[in-house]
Structure 1
Amino acid sequence: MTPDELYFVPPDPVNPPTISRRKIEIPVEKVIGAVNSLDLKVLSLENVELLQRMVPTEQETKTYKEYVGSKKNVNLLTEEDKFLMQLGKVERISTKLIIMSYIGNFFDNIHFITPQIHAIISASSSVKSSKKLRRVLEIILAFGNYLNSSKRGPAYGFKLQSLDTLLDTKSTDKRMCLLHYIVDTIRNKFLDLLNFESELMYIDKAAVVSLENIMTDVHELEKGMELVRKEAELRGKERHNTVLKDFLANSEEKLRKLKADARSAQESFRECVEYFGESPRTVDANTFFSLLVRFARTFKVADQENEQRRRLELAALEALNKPSDEVMKRNKLNQKKQQEAVINELKCKTRLVQEKKLLHQDDVYNGALEDILLGLKSEPYRRADAVRRSQRRRIDNNRLSRTMEELEL
């Protein structure tokens, strides 16, 4: 039975050594050989990280040694205890695992840190050399001095944190803030400054980078490289030392260049913030560049809101002038409708005359209306050439009587 004092129970029950041991599907002898030779081909980075969490402490290693020294039956230990006891026999196992993790992650760390350093260098240089940003800040300072002229003397500068307060000063109707008025003035008087953010290169990338964290990461890489050098010196001309020699030959120059770039980023950022009256000790890169990113964004939004306000005002002005134009259009339409009605009436009368619905003057006689009404009862509609018999008889009689009178005359 495994003694209680030797049964390893980790402080974190979520990740016990039993689960970690099952993830490492390699015999313990092969694991120990890979650790001693720093062989990342046999032992993957994931397995190295698992082993770093499983390495027994000094007290646990001492307990295992006492158990073996007392000549107790080792077979009574659990598989996890046997595995941990074998790991405890490896000299400087913690240092070797740290070196393996450092070697396996070194180039990824270089590729991760390098773009951040370049972003700070480029952003610092572009902000410091931007003429348009400087002129915009001069206009803001002029507005501030004008607003405070009755309270105090003119100011020669302001903290960049004050850019966030431009949204707080609003008009009496709360529709416009000071930034809206400044942006409107720049659009009307200094149109070339509207795109000042185009000169601020990489500030969005530098805004998410901490220069302090970069310098810490570079320092940790230096410490890891020093550990690798000491391990290489300690091994001397051993057969397993080729791994360290090859790594040092490929990585030391890259680390030196990274350190030089990091110092350059520090210097560029220092010159930039001091140019704007800030101190690199009190403001970090992400804070400084985030402020400029916010200002450029709110500046653009204010310009868009001004443009929308101008369109609404123009539409309202057109709405005030619209009624008179509408009345004129309505009058013209009514006049046109009246003209069309008169024309239609004339056309209708002409058509009715042609269809005998209206009679010519020669066709009118005494009793004609009565004949038409009587005829409509039995024959509402008739052909254009159709004529009532009574009407035809009377017409013929009238014509005959006129002819006789003419003959008598």
Structure 2
Amino acid sequence: MLTKIKMPLPDIMNAALALDDSILDGDQVENLIKFCPTEEDVELLKNYTGDKESLGKCEQFFLELMKVPRVEAKLKVFCFKLQFNNQRADIRKSLYTVDSACEEIRNSNKLKEIMKKILSLGNTLNRGTARGAAVGFRLDSLLKLTDTRATNNKTTLMHYLCKVLDSRSSHLMDFHKDFISLEAASKIQLKALADEQRGVVKGLEKLETELIASENDGIVSEVFCKRLKDFTVAAGAEVRSLTALYTAVENNADGLALYFGEDPAGCPFEQENCKLAALEKKNTLKDADTDGPKSANSINKHGR
């Protein structure tokens, strides 16, 4: 894995500490993280006074990494920086898609007309019963349009509705054209989107924590601190903007549920995202260790 990075070891670390994405890409930085020394590795090498050239490449690499305080945390910060723009753009695109779909559904006059006709059809079928004068219906009642069948067991209520619409209100038959974003929005997993958003917020907190810690490292982290400080300022503004957009889209989705008489608390957006607004900072210091040291393994486990 190390052989994929065709540079002298000191140059690799200089590029990493400079957060230089023109030299190292995400895959290379992730490989560096995989080869960070364990506590046992450090214990075996920290008092080594022999000829470094007699050591294997892996041990030489460990010695280079050991010069940098919290090297694994710094490399994970670099990974976050490398992935940030694409991740932010993907989340923003998904949010815009969900938001557009909500607006399209809310503003479709043709959908409103169809819903009125479905209500009228239901009241006609239930005439003379307690449900024959309903002023509305739950959205899950729409499923009954395909479940309710005629005596021939082939024609459903949906077939009948489409036939009536086609003959009496044909202008409504292309109502689906109002929903440009709906298909794409239906493929977005809201739980995954919530997790991604929380991950970005938490990642920024880790950046800020490592920046504070690195300011006490001395000259070895001088360039790292300067570059990270500049990135953190810019990323912080982006994350705040993204969080505001997320909250607005969440409110829009909840509002759409209320518009149809549904309880937002029973909808996935509310269930999965309620933790986002109050993302805890109590774990910030714990997270600064970037998952802590690995379990002890011998140097030879990494191979030479």
Q: Does 1:36 align with 2:17?
A: yes
How many angstroms apart in 2 are the aligned matches of 1:134 and 1:175? 28
1:203 positional shift:
1.0
* AA at the equivalent of 1:43: L
Unaligned runs of 5+ in 2: 270-304
2-structure distance, mates of 1:250, 1:74: 41
Aligned to 2:183: 204
Kept after mapping to 1: 8 A contact 2:17/2:223: no
Q: Residue 264 of structure 2: SS of its match in structure 1? A: coil
User: What is residue 255 of structure 2 aligned with on the other side?
Assistant: 271
Residue 265 of structure 2 aligns to a residue in which SS? coil
2:291 counterpart residue number: none
Q: Kindly state the Cα deviation for residue 221 of structure 1 after the two structures are TM-superposed.
A: 1.5
Q: Give 1 or 2 for the bigger CA radius of gyration.
A: 1
- Report the equivalent of 2:106: 128
Q: Deviations over 1:130-182 (max 9, x none)?
A: 23212212222232333344664334433323323322222233442111111
* % same residue: 26
Q: Could you list the per-position Cα deviations for residues 378-409 of structure 1 after superposition, in whole angstroms to 9, with x for gaps in the alignment?
A: xxxxxxxxxxxxxxxxxxxxxxxxxxxxxxxx
Distance change (3 Å), C-alpha of 1:72 and 1:161:
farther
Corresponding residue for 2:294? Answer: none
AA paired with 2:266? T
2:161 counterpart of 1:161: no
Q: Structure 1 residue 215: deviation in Å?
A: 2.9
Q: Equivalents in 1 of 2:40, 2:118: separation in Å? A: 66
Distance between the aligned counterparts of 1:58 and 1:278, measured in 2? 54
1:186 corresponds, among 165, 171, 189, to: 165
Distance between the aligned counterparts of 1:74 and 1:232, measured in 2? 31
Change (3 A) 1:240 1:84: closer
Residue 302 (structure 2) aligns with? none
Matched, 1:255 2:244: no
Match for 1:167: what amino acid? Answer: T
- State which of 205, 208, 224 in structure 2 corresponds to 1:226: 205
Cα distance change on mapping 1:188 and 1:241 into 2, 3 Å: same
Q: Which of 1 and 2 has higher RCO (CA within 8 Å, sep 6+)?
A: 2
Provide the C-alpha distance between the structure 2 equivalents of 1:239 and 1:95, rounded to a whole number of angstroms. Answer: 16
Contact 1:211–1:266 at 8 Å: present in 2 too?
no
Structure 1 unmatched runs, 5+: 1-19, 286-409
Taking the TM superposition and a 5 Å limit, the aligned residue runs for 1:73-88 are 77-88=55-66
- The residue correspondences of 1:80-119 to structure 2 (distance < 5 A) are 80-119=58-97
Aligned-residue offset at 1:74? 6.4
Preserved contact between residue 97 and residue 185 of structure 2 (Cα < 8 Å): yes
Cα separation, partners in 2 of 1:58 and 1:157, compared to 1, 3 Å: farther
Q: Aligned-pair distance for 1:185?
A: 1.2
For 1:50, the aligned partner's letter is N
Residues 102 and 256, structure 2, Cα contact 8 Å, conserved in 1? yes
- Output the CA distance in 2 between the equivalents of 1:95 and 1:239: 16
Match of 1:61 among 42, 51, 58: 42
Q: 1 CA distance for matches of 2:76 and 2:224? A: 16
Correspondence for 1:144: 122
Change (3 A) 1:61 1:151: farther
Distance 1:219 1:257 in 2: 14
RMSD: 2.7
Shift of 1:50: 0.9
Report the Cα distance in structure 2 between the residues aligned to 1:77 and 1:50, rounded to whole angstroms.
Answer: 20
How many angstroms does 1:280 deviate by?
A: 3.1
Q: Secondary structure at the match of 1:90?
A: coil
For 1:229 and 1:193, locate their aligned partners in 2 and report how far apart those are by CA, in whole Å: 54
Helix, strand or coil for the counterpart of 1:281?
helix
* Contact 1:127–1:201 (Cα < 8 Å) also in 2: no
